Amino acid sequence: MPGSKVMAGSVVVSILLVAAEMAGGLMGHSIALISDAVHNLTDVPSLLIAWLAMRWAGRPADAEKTFGYHRTGILAAFVNAIILVLISGFLFYESWQRFLHPEPVNSGIMIVISLVALAVNGGITLGVARGRKDLNVRAVFIHNLGDALSNVAILGGALIIRRTAAHWVDPVLGAAIGAMVLWSSIGILREASHILLEGLPREMTLESVARAILAAPGVQEVHDIHIWTLGTDLYALSCHVCIPDMHMEQSEELLQTIRHELSDKFHITHTTVQFERAGLPRDAGLYMPESLQKQN
């Protein structure tokens, strides 16, 4: 699995980078470098979790995990986002303390370390870019893209400090990195939470899916519709469909028509449709789950 190998290699490189940035930050008295080292330290468990999730997501379903392990990647993204939120608070605190009590910064060390860090984080970002449609991989992509941008900011700040001796730039950069960490985690945390809570995929509406089912020949009513995400780009649906009396062959054809429409229009590939005998013919109605009101 190519993506898995990239993740494994990224873990090793990230550990070496954290050591280099921490040493450079301590020797150069740079809170920006120390903040970035702590930020990159969160990459290690994040990348480990993402790597394990990629391996586990491919495991087949079994007697206990009947849907398989598709959500390991979503769970990994959720954990990564929580780590990012916590670490941002630490960065804000440390930057404020350094702003209150400024220290001289060795801009030369900042420049060298930031260039090395930029090369590492930029390489990891490019390495996982192709797989970023997967929420788990996108968490790693955004994380390392933010790292690379923070390295650019540190490099620019070091040049300013070297030219003007404005040492207050260092804690400001530390706080900016903390803000970037917090911002990057919010979208991932929101999306992962939505999926874990069985939310409707954001790119579709319940009514549009129900109307597509109602459009199938013979369907009179549809109700008790539930749509959720098993894993990234893997959607499931269950519903009850009312149809008139028909032969088994006809109902099989209708089922295939419904499945084809759901797959073609909404990329819903795991469907469970229960046919029920309809009453007297009437205008087709749209029935939502019990918590919602009937719509016509």
Return the pLDDT at 283: 47
Task: Write the DSSP symbol of residue 84.
Answer: H
C-alpha angle 224/229/231, rounded to 5°?
155
Pinpoint the alpha helices (H) of 58-106.
72-100
Return the pLDDT at 289: 45
Token pair 């916590």: residue: 86
Region of 292 on the Ramachandran plot (φ > 0 left; ψ -120 to 50 alpha; else beta)? beta
Return the pLDDT at 1: 43
Distance between CA 90 and CA 17 in Å, rounded? 20
Per-residue pLDDT of the chain (296 residues; tens, 9 = 90+): 445 566 667 777 778 888 888 888 888 777 778 777 776 776 666 666 667 666 665 667 666 776 767 777 778 778 878 887 887 887 788 788 878 877 777 888 888 888 888 888 788 778 777 665 666 567 667 777 777 877 888 888 888 888 887 878 888 887 887 887 788 778 778 888 888 888 888 888 888 999 899 989 888 888 889 999 887 668 999 999 988 887 888 889 999 999 999 999 998 988 999 998 876 444 444 554 444 444 44
What tokens were used for 201? 């995929």
Task: Pick the closest to residue 271 from 230, 218, 221 (CA basis).
Answer: 230
Which residues share a beta bridge with 240? 223, 274
Residue 271, helix vs strand vs coil = strand
Order across the sheet with 234-243: list the strands: 268-277, 234-243, 221-231, 285-286
C-alpha angle 101/29/147, rounded to 5°?
105
What tokens were used for 81? 């986002």
| DSSP assignment string, 249-288 | HHHHHHHHHHHHHHHHHH-EEEEEEEEEE--S----EE--
Distance between CA 285 and CA 296 in Å, rounded? 5
All domains of the chain in start order, with CATH: 2-196 (1.20.1510.10), 206-286 (3.30.70.1350)
Asked if 55 and 132 touch (Cβ cutoff 8 Å), the reply is no
Per-residue pLDDT tens over the stretch 163-222: 887 878 888 887 887 887 788 778 778 888 888 888 888 888 888 999 899 989 888 888
Cα 15 to its chain centre, rounded Å, is 23
Return the pLDDT at 149: 79
What tokens were used for 113? 């370390």
Return the pLDDT at 254: 93
